Amino acid sequence: MLISLNWLKDFIALEGSAGELAERLTMAGLEVESVQSLSEGFEHLVVGRILQKAPHPDSDHLTLCRVDVGKKELRIICGAPNHEQGDKVIVALPGARLPNGMEIVPTTIRGIESFGMICSEKEMGLSDDSTGVMILPEDVVVGTPAADVLGRNDTVLEIDLTPNRPDCLSHFGVAREIAALTGFPLTPPTVKIVEEGPKIATRTSVQVHEPDLCPRYTCRVIENVSIGPSPLWMQERLRAVGLRSINNVVDVTNYVLMEQGHPLHAFDYDLLSGNRIEVRRAEKGEKTRTLDDVERTLDSGMLVICDAEKPVAIAGVMGCGNSEVNDGTRRILLEAACFQPTSIRRTAKRLGLHSESSHRFERGTDIEGLVTALDRAASLIQSLAGGTVAKGRIDVYPVRPPKRVIPLRVAKVKELLGISLSPEETGRILGSLQLPLEYSDKETLQVGIPTFRVDLEREIDLIEEIARIYGYNRIPSTRLTATLEPGGTTRSRQLTMQVRQALVAEGFFETIHYSFHNPDDLDLLGLEVDDPLHDPIAIQNPLSRDQSVMRTTLLPGLLHNLQQNLKRFRSDVRLFEVGRVFQKTTDRPALERDRLAGVVSGLEVLPGWDRAPREVDFFDVKTILESLMSGIGIPSLRWVALETLPYLHPGKSAWLRKDGTSLGFLGELHPEVMKRFDLPQRALYFELDLEATFQAASEAVLYRPAIRFPAVERDIALIVDDDLPAGAVDSMIREVAPDLIRDVRLFDLYRGKPIPAGKKSLAFSIRFQAEDRTLTDKEINGIRDKIVEQLKERFGAALRD
């Protein structure tokens, strides 16, 4: 936002330098990014009058001009085609350095000396117009510094406003802040309208079909206007804040926009079909051409201003060319309205069209201040373009917003700011911001909120306002004191950290993913449509399809990580993630579960001079998980064959259970899933339910002294059915004599002759040891025979010869 200091002076007295003012505004929350003097480059430019014009004797396009610059006359050679004898122009004297960097020195052009230059707007950096020199009004005084005539004795502040302060998107809004900071009186702009035309109801009507999107619409009609250039002072003020002059009527709407902060629009009344206004939603696919000469395709979510037949403006964004004020305009309909900010923001974004109007409507405008802006504009148009203003104004305002009052506790101000302010001083500060006290006592102030302060909603907002105006630099610095006690960690967090450390020690790297992913990944896993994992919770406003649903499993993220590593020739990969998954439920928004998942691929044994390489397999990862479980207090586990998960290889996956409770699973990825994720080598995946795992973990640390009596190992080879899990045999053996059998280890698996078809041979090594004696052969043989008998009875097992 560009703010002219000369313009500010219309409303408030300024003291001190521009730099001091910039510092004060910045400390009050209106950050001034730059301070620019507009007079730079105009030091040796003055008003001159062309006394004589004659052709150059050695050129068909140059002219010799004798120019009065006040104290002397100069001969200047000019190449512009538009100047005549008697014109008043801007003359750059010798020694001038123009804003575009050009230095002016006496020079000889085709044999004749020239002592200066008659300037165009482009040469002075005022515009891009270089078709001719700038011709000044007849009433300017010869010899006057050009900076005075062009309004360049001015300084412009560039203020970077936060989106919550639309009240400062104008010169009057900034002046209101300065008045609060300095205590100087604020002078509002002058509004003087002479209504001599017919009643406005006889000229037009307004119908608002969408009051939720347009809560207020007002307009005036002005007849018999004369379209022409704006006076120089208005052109220069607009130019100072980055706007170009168009004509006197359009310039007034832009001028009031920058002065009052409320956007206005002027329609050519005679180009409005039916001479009336309707505010409605656009029809889907409806087209219109805006003032920038671009055809726009609208949709039903956009609000448009229409006449009896067609859109004439995209509400709050930009007008249309079919009702534009032009040189032939004689009657205008002047609009001031208030629009719903979200609607304008969406429309501007969808159309890719950002304007000064949309910038303000998106942030919120003053619904009560738009009448002041409308009347100010009508007053200026009547002054600059003539015309007759119709009596009255149309004001469609069906529902007035309720009066807002926020209670403010004086004690809360001291608590948060650390300063003691009396209720009277607090009220004075708030009053300087035009925040009136509706009611007050010693403890609580009832603060009225004006409609131009859309950012004030809570008590803390008022306390911030007090701090701004009181001065952040005046708030004393105090040392904070607090008692710090070491925080404890929950058992779940401790076990989670222990699990992480154990996996890192096994060569794993931890990954972290977003809690949402692409639903297409669930199809790649081969999940059935009725599988709960295939019914994720959808994000209402996703950034992209890749982040459109909450994850029901950690597997897709890990597989994408594995894929990226393999593509970058990192073939030995071990990754894990501790994260949360989400499933739909009927009694709450989501069922959230903490999971530990990991993926392993590559070599378990690296090649060396003394060993061959070996790819990691199911049993390698099984050993890792058993070690992990043992480390957190789950020493004994049961592995049960798993056939139901479509993304795991049947026959190469298993459930991990403890006392009948499923803690998780481990398996090799299904070949089809590997193809879909473009994985060229075998990979294994495991997943643990952390809540169930930690509940099964024992907190007790058991100490058992070393047994001093010797252990005896015996081997046993059995022939069993091929589909019988070795784990079932292992568990059966341990159950026979749990106090004497210390360990059972499978060391051989064999299929083939002479083992019958449908059978397999399992060989176990059993370690026997008693705590109180040395076991005899008779005791050991008795236990062995009992093992064989029970295995035969339960599983139909037979000893292998």
Question: For residues 249-279, b (16+ Cβ closer than 10 Å) or e, as one string?
Answer: bbbbbbbbbbbbbbbbbbbbbebbeebbbbb
Nearest to 764 by CA among 727, 801, 709, 722: 727
Task: List the structure tokens of 420.
Answer: 């003691």
- Return the residue matching tokens 């050129």: 59
pLDDT score recorded for residue 102: 85
CA distances from residue 364 to 28, 166, 358, 376, 434 in whole angstroms, order as listed: 21, 6, 10, 20, 18
For residues 178 and 171, give the distance between their C-alpha atoms in angstroms, rounded to a whole number.
Answer: 10
Strand intervals (E) in 252-341: 265-268, 277-281, 287-289, 295-297, 303-306, 311-314, 318-319, 331-338
Nearest to 214 by CA among 314, 140, 133, 73: 314
Q: How many Cβ atoms from other residues are within 10 Å of residue 287's Cβ? A: 12
Q: In what order do the strands lie in the sheet with 404-409?
A: 404-409, 444-449, 437-440
First vs last C-alpha separation in the chain: 96
| pLDDT value at residue 397 | 96
Predicted local distance difference test score (pLDDT) of residue 476: 86
- Residue 513's pLDDT is what? 93
Pairing outcome for strands 112-114 and 73-78: unpaired
Q: Are 44 and 95 in contact (CB under 8 A)?
A: yes
Residue 178, burial from CB neighbour count under 10 angstroms (0-12, 13-18, 19+): buried
- How far is residue 69's CA from residue 52's CA, in Å, rounded to a whole number? 13
pLDDT value, residue 478? 78
Residue whose structure tokens are 């005036």: 220
- Single-letter code of the amino acid located at 336: A
Task: From 76, 56, 57, 55, select the one nearest 66 (Cα to Cα).
Answer: 76
Which residue positions in the chain have pLDDT lower than 50?
none
Helices (H), 605-763: 618-631, 671-676, 690-696, 726-736
Query: Can you read off the two tokens belonging to residue 134?
Result: 């700038």
Closest CA to 533 of 675, 648, 676: 648
Output the pLDDT for position 123: 86
Q: Dig out the tokens for 498 from the structure.
A: 């222990």
Q: Is 176 exposed, middle or buried (0-12, 13-18, 19+ CB in 10 A)?
A: buried
Whether the Cβ atoms of residue 733 and residue 741 lie closer than 8 Å to each other: yes
Element (H, E) at 341: helix 341-351
Q: Helix (H, G, I), strand (E, B), or coil: what is residue 249?
A: helix
Q: What is the pLDDT of residue 587?
A: 76
Residue 215 has a CB neighbour count (10 Å cut-off) of 19
Q: For residue 310, with 0-12 CB atoms within 10 Å meaning exposed, 13-18 middle and 19 or more buried, which class applies?
A: middle
The values of phi and psi at residue 153, to 5°, are -80, 65
pTM tops 0.75: no
